[in-house]
Structure 1
Amino acid sequence: MSELFRRYGTGMTLTMLAGVAVWVLAMVVLPYFVMVEYSFHPNLTVVEMGGPKDHYTLENYAALFRGVDLLHWDFPDDFRVFLRTMWGASLVTFICLLVCYPVAFYLAKVATPERTAFLLLILVIPFWINEILRTFSWYILLAYSGPLNIVLKALGIIDAPVRWLSGSAGVLIGMTYAFLLFMMFPLYNALETLDRNQIEAARDLGAPTWRIHWRVVIPHAKPGIAVGCIMVFVLAASSYVVPALLGSPGTRWFTETIYSWFFEAQNWPLGSAYAFILLGLCVAFILLMMRLFRVGLTDIAK
């Protein structure tokens, strides 16, 4: 803060801070407060609001878990969608980590600077296109008569076209592609700071490749792994466009359920409660990653 005052002066710094404060309050804090207020009220008509039926309640939060029978493994539809979303977001995060780790290591420690710059540019260029257009391109690729099935059938890998868009496969593929860079860049930034001499020393001492990665590379990359997992999981769990375009009624995402309660059922209190349940789960995942990888906020900020 003192650096801002020194560089820009008192007047300019206060003006910038005031602008940021107004923006955060108007665009983030106040809408959240409104949703919090909605989430603790029953769904009433305009005439009933403020009347005897209008009172604070936890009914909207309890609605997600009502009817859950762990003994017989029976869940209501909304809770089933919630579990599917958490499992799907976790799987997308794991796939992104598996795909991005070797690529990030190659870019950071194996490739020449010129090749690294070229490959990073190749990775970034497709993301200059709007997310909806990129998702529609996957819709075309994964269609029943689309290019993917044509190529796989020509290579003899499949005998009949696969309906990628009738299950979870299309959603997982689309989300993995959409959020790859959010795993790639934190990993690359963390691995780039690793001293190559540590790898060479471990290799000279006879350590196999897998042990070098397990004992040297991965511990150093823990902040990058934590940040990548956090970003991919949160974005995947809160994604709406990809599951809406590439999914099917049987692969409904929790964000689609929230959307339907808000705009189709016009039940804003229940939609708000569901949104905050999803937010709470994302915060819990962030804390879990920080504890699992034993990193703090300062490590993540690096």
Structure 2
Amino acid sequence: MFDQLRNRFGSGLAVGIILMIVIWLIGMVILPQVLMIDYSFRPNLLPAELGGPKDHYSLINYQTLFNNKIHLSIFFKTIWSSVSVTMLTLLVCYPLAFYLAKVATPRQAAMCMLLLIIPFWINEILRTFSWYIILAYKGPLNALLQALGLIERPIRFLNGNGGVMIGMVYAYILFMVFPIYNGIESLDSNQIKAARNLGAGWIRTHWRVVIPHAKPGIATGCIMTFMLAAGSYAVPALLGSPGSRWFTQIIYNWFFEGGNWNQGAAYAFLLLLICIGFIALVMRIFKVGLGDIAR
């Protein structure tokens, strides 16, 4: 990496770039995580008790989660729901990415990408709140369905996880579609034509030709979508009902409402471990390495 930067920018600028990257990684990524881990193993004490006999490492903050059945159920529900959001987003984005990469003309692809990107010029909170209006009990979606005669009475889309799922799929669609598009776009179209000429149907062609080539892009999209979904706060807070709380909301409450940073750090660290485990699982399933994902 350094040799490539040196050949392109010169030794001085290459050293500066590498130094900025190292400072950013240490100051913004590594140190905050180390502090969070340290907090998670310490009890929540008064300032006068810090450094005293009670200030020692223990697993009490982690035991709190496993002893609290409500928080534990929300934790597992958040993980399962995040996996569901990832799968739904993949189902929506794969056909779209293939269309953009291999079917659409350059003009059509540019128009579709523009239509995808323009809504994301608006703040995430406003985009999520727009879905709150659309999915409301007396919102435009229910009015349209009633006008078409598809339903007799309004549906409570925001009662449960339905609204959260819809909002998250929409919120993170770009993080799935562009990695898959990049993976499919580099595939030689002649390979698809050859498979079709040899008698393979579209499903078999995708399964044996397109998907194997696009595995790094699919893995990247799944990882990014899962991480964003598992760590989301705004979407479940706006579109979720009281019975569909997200684990991030509990972490937020520990930090900013309960004032217990140690307990919140333990919850956050467990969520981080699950996310790391998901990354390893996806890489194993798709048989890709970090180099493939980083392309």
Instruction: Verify same fold: TM over 0.5.
Output: yes
> d(CA) in 1 for partners of 2:190 and 2:60?
59
Displacement of 1:30 after TM fit?
2.3
State the partner residue of 2:49. Answer: 48
Displacement of 1:172 after TM fit?
0.5
Matched, 1:126 2:119: yes
More displaced 10-residue stretch of structure 1: 39-48 or 173-182: 39-48
Specify the code of the residue in structure 2 equivalent to 1:122: L
State the partner residue of 2:234. Answer: 241
Matched, 1:294 2:295: no
Specify the code of the residue in structure 2 equivalent to 1:216: V
Displacement of 1:32 after TM fit?
2.0
Matched, 1:99 2:92: yes
Specify the code of the residue in structure 2 equivalent to 1:63: T
Specify the code of the residue in structure 1 equivalent to 2:33: Y
State the partner residue of 1:180. Answer: 173
- For this pair of structures, how many residues does the alignment match? 294
> d(CA) in 1 for partners of 2:293 and 2:27?
27
Q: 2:248 aligns with which of 244, 255, 271?
A: 255
Distance 1:113-1:57 versus aligned 2 partners, 3 A rule: same
Q: 1:137 aligns with which of 130, 136, 158?
A: 130
Cα deviation code 1:191-211 (max 9, x no counterpart): 111111111111111111111
> d(CA) in 2 for partners of 1:12 and 1:205?
53
Distance 1:13-1:208 versus aligned 2 partners, 3 A rule: closer
Cα deviation code 1:79-133 (max 9, x no counterpart): 1110110111011101111111111111111111111111111111111111111
Equivalent residue runs for 1:185-204 within 5 Å: 185-204=178-197
More displaced 10-residue stretch of structure 1: 42-51 or 18-27: 18-27
Specify the code of the residue in structure 1 equivalent to 2:181: Y
Note the residue ranges of structure 1 that are not aligned, 5 or more in a row: 68-75
**Displaced runs of 4 or more, over 6 A:** none
Note the residue ranges of structure 2 that are not aligned, 5 or more in a row: none
Specify the code of the residue in structure 2 equivalent to 1:54: D
State the partner residue of 1:23. Answer: 24
State the partner residue of 1:36. Answer: 37
Displacement of 1:234 after TM fit?
0.6
Cα deviation code 1:207-250 (max 9, x no counterpart): 11111111111111111111111110110000011001111110
Specify the code of the residue in structure 2 equivalent to 1:168: N
> d(CA) in 1 for partners of 2:182 and 2:6?
30
- Identity among equivalent positions (%) equals 60
Displacement of 1:286 after TM fit?
0.4
Equivalent residue runs for 1:255-294 within 5 Å: 255-294=248-287
> d(CA) in 1 for partners of 2:183 and 2:21?
29
> d(CA) in 2 for partners of 1:199 and 1:14?
44
> d(CA) in 2 for partners of 1:128 and 1:231?
20
> d(CA) in 1 for partners of 2:202 and 2:172?
28
Distance 1:7-1:202 versus aligned 2 partners, 3 A rule: closer
Matched, 1:205 2:198: yes
Cα deviation code 1:238-293 (max 9, x no counterpart): 00110011111100000001001111111111100110100010000000000001
Q: 2:164 aligns with which of 171, 178, 187?
A: 171
> d(CA) in 2 for partners of 1:6 and 1:111?
38
> d(CA) in 1 for partners of 2:59 and 2:203?
50
Cα deviation code 1:35-94 (max 9, x no counterpart): 121111111111111111111001212322226xxxxxxxx0111110110111011101
> d(CA) in 2 for partners of 1:38 and 1:236?
24
> d(CA) in 1 for partners of 2:54 and 2:200?
70
Specify the code of the residue in structure 2 equivalent to 1:174: G
TM-score by length of 1: 0.94
State the partner residue of 1:73. Answer: none
Matched, 1:225 2:218: yes
TM-score by length of 2: 0.96
More displaced 10-residue stretch of structure 1: 16-25 or 100-109: 16-25
Displacement of 1:16 after TM fit?
3.2
**SS where residue 164 of structure 2 aligns?**
helix
State the partner residue of 2:62. Answer: 61
More displaced 10-residue stretch of structure 1: 240-249 or 1-10: 1-10
Matched, 1:5 2:6: yes
More displaced 10-residue stretch of structure 1: 135-144 or 22-31: 22-31
Say what the alpha-carbon RMSD is for the aligned residues. Answer: 1.3
